[in-house]
Homo-oligomer: A and B are copies of this chain.
Amino acid sequence: MAYNPRHMKWWGWGYEDVEFRASRHPDFWPFARSVLDIESDEFPRHEWNLESIELPEGHVDEPFVAKLRACLAPGQITSDTKERVTHAYGKGFRDLFRLRHGIAIGAPDLIVYPESEHEVSLTVRAAAERDIVLIPFGGGSNIAGCLERMDSRRMCVSLDMRRLRRVLSVDKRSFTAQIEAGVFGPDLEEQLAAHGMTLGHFPDSFLHSTLGGWIATRSAGMQSDKYGKIEDMVIAVRMVTPEGVLETRVVPKSSNGIDVKHLCIGSEGTLGIITEAKMRVHAIPESRQVRGYLFPEFEGGIEAMHACMSNECMPAMVRLNDPDKTALSLAFRPPSSGFTKIASKLYKTYLRAKGLAQPRACLMLTAFEGRQAGVSRQLQRAEAIYKKRGAVGLPAGAGKSFEATKYDFPHIRDFLLDRDVTTDVSETATVWSNIVPLYRDTIAFLRAEISNSGVRPWAGCHISHTYQCGASLYFTFGFRQQPGNEMEQYLQVKRAVQQSFIDHGATLSHHHAVGTEHLPWLAADISPVGVQAVSAIKQGLDPGNIMNPGRLLPSSSPFEDWRALSSPSRDRERVKS
């Protein structure tokens, strides 16, 4: 029996039997009601019923299907309704909102589960011969609109890679591992741990995303400060394109002309299917210390991060929340996070005496890992730097609480969607000198844009993923939905924040990909000649445009496309047309 990890629930994040437990986060709903100005406490319990979903009529190309059936086992090919719905989208707001309203226009006609690169190749060849669209599918966790079908004219196949999940070899002396691309985070780490190794890549989506997805979207893990982004970890890659297998050598660095590895990384499924990569891995660190601090203000926290970087005292992870995100994080904290109510009250009094009363206080979480001695020394140096900027160390519970709940955050959105609240995130990166202006203006635009729709805005930000020259800014926002205008309302807000990134010299995304949601800003980001170059590569490796069409190449009106694909009513029209 082939390995087949479970899919996420089609109507939200995580497995079907896992959801946001309000009892585990007792302060959260009162917090949300208060900041979002929600009066009601009664919301209908939804029953998610597949039968309510409107699927596009299946295109079936008989010769193509016959070829697949001749080569693959029956269990590798399916057009089951639930499978089609599950593969229709990623997990962005637009995706979940549409599915929850019965719209699955993005659904493929067929899902194929290859079990080897050979099977990927024959599927790609067969698709190229018959002009059939292929969309590579990893964990389906993408939130930028990378996975929905954009072309209703041709048959569309979702190529689900989860059965290519083996760590094929580990070279412990060279700290490299050869890994199949469909492996999920926990499975990968378990296989590497058997060799005493770790990849060191822990994105928020870790439980539900795959190596191939990480590479195709230029993902970043929480500990990128130490281990780099995924593009820094790929030593070599194999990608099956309609023109054959692009393959690079297992060498640390080269001067072999244009580095074609970087054509595969970030290609978002538009050139081919990444089947395997040789990754840089690390010995499991001797020591790991996760700590929490409160800073009297956001700017002081940013200064502390900058000072750490300037002084070669880089943590493996650092996340600095602004005051609003701090309030959210504290409200999200499990009740048993390290100290009793009385202790907590005393502690709050102490913090207040230090001038750290909310709402100005900013929570910073850090992790240091590596050799025992190095970790202790770095932590000591970092704490000295933090204290100089007025920070107060939190009890050990803060770090433990973060560790215990670090993958739970995406569940919030489902919980709030059930309560007619839209939430989403937008993230970017910029240089140190631009962080504060970008932060201030973007938060202001975001709040103004939400207010424009007549509801109370909530927006917060955290800074993370530090580099020598800058860092990432991650904005989270939420608001009550305007009944009947939910999608337009969302689009206005999302558009404002993305436009602010570009107007301030930042990038359209630090680690979430271009997809359809960020495509309108691609030419501004990489320049029109850059887009022309991408188009040329596409033409060279996928002349039939069968690989995930509609991505990375803006049409003449990409923003209009984005809107058109977003509105349930327009989608319904598109289904019919």
Q: Are A173 and B306 in contact (CB under 8 A)?
A: yes
Q: Are A253 and B229 in contact (CB under 8 A)?
A: yes
Partner of A529, one of B217, B218, B244, B434: B244
How far, in angstroms, from A118 to B505 measured CA to CA in the complex? Answer: 23
Report chain B residues within 8 Å CB of A539.
Answer: 536, 539-540
Size category, A interface: 35 or more
- A169-195 Cβ-contact flags toward B at 8 Å (1 or 0): 001011110000000000000000000
CB distance from A373 to the nearest CB of B (A): 10
Q: Are B257 and A283 in contact (CB under 8 A)?
A: no
A205 within 8 A of B: no
Q: Are A469 and B541 in contact (CB under 8 A)?
A: no
A258 within 8 A of B: yes
- A514-553 Cβ-contact flags toward B at 8 Å (1 or 0): 1000100010011111101111110111000000000110
Interface of A with B (CB < 8 Å)?
A: 171, 173-176, 217-220, 229, 231, 235, 241, 243-260, 262-263, 265-268, 280, 282-283, 306, 310-312, 370-371, 374, 428-434, 465, 467-472, 505-514, 518, 522, 525-530, 532-537, 539-541, 551-552
Q: Are B514 and A256 in contact (CB under 8 A)?
A: yes
Q: Are A469 and B174 in contact (CB under 8 A)?
A: yes
Report chain B residues within 8 Å CB of A532.
Answer: 243-244, 540-541
CB distance from A290 to the nearest CB of B (A): 19
Q: Are A257 and B534 in contact (CB under 8 A)?
A: yes
7 contacts between A and B (CB under 8 A): A171-B433, A175-B432, A231-B259, A249-B525, A258-B537, A259-B266, A536-B540
How far, in angstroms, from A465 to B252 measured CA to CA in the complex? Answer: 10
Q: Are A529 and B541 in contact (CB under 8 A)?
A: yes
Residue among A174, A465, A471, A539 with the highest chain B CB neighbour number at 10 A:
A174
Q: Are B552 and A541 in contact (CB under 8 A)?
A: no
Q: Are B527 and A248 in contact (CB under 8 A)?
A: yes
Partner of A433, one of B174, B282, B283: B174
Report chain B residues within 8 Å CB of A311.
Answer: 371
Asked whether A431 and B218 contact (CB < 8 A) given A258-B262, A512-B255, A530-B248, the answer is no
Partner of A175, one of B171, B251, B268, B469: B469
Report chain B residues within 8 Å CB of A267.
Answer: 257-258
